[in-house]
Amino acid sequence: MGPVKNDHARRWMWWFLAALVALQLYFVRELIAALLLFTLGFAVIGGILLAIVFVKHAGEASLAWAEPRTRGMTQAARRGMEYIEEFSRKPFRRPRSQPAP
């Protein structure tokens, strides 16, 4: 009965080692999956931040390009506002005039 019992114990030992290796492989797969998910999440966040930076730089560049081209229009707008302010200070009726009956 000695060799049969020894074979039985050896078979259980191999099953235990196989289960241990399978558990380790499952754990490694779980870690790799978590790593990939976190990498994907950080890549998405980084892409969003990079897009925000690009939009900011594009806005600054477009303002720098448009400023000299709109300088004449801003001066004309200022003159127009001054004219409107001057016009609004004038009374609508002449002094000493009477309203119509």
Model's pTM, two decimal places? 0.50
Q: Give the range among 29-38, 43-52, 89-98 with minimum mean pLDDT.
A: 89-98
Integer Cα distance of 9 and 70 in angstroms: 90
SS3 of residue 94 by DSSP: coil
User: In this structure, which amino acid lies at residue 34?
Assistant: A
Integer Cα distance of 1 and 72 in angstroms: 108
- Mean predicted confidence (pLDDT) in 21-37: 88
Per-residue pLDDT of 13-22, as tens digits, reads: 898 888 888 8
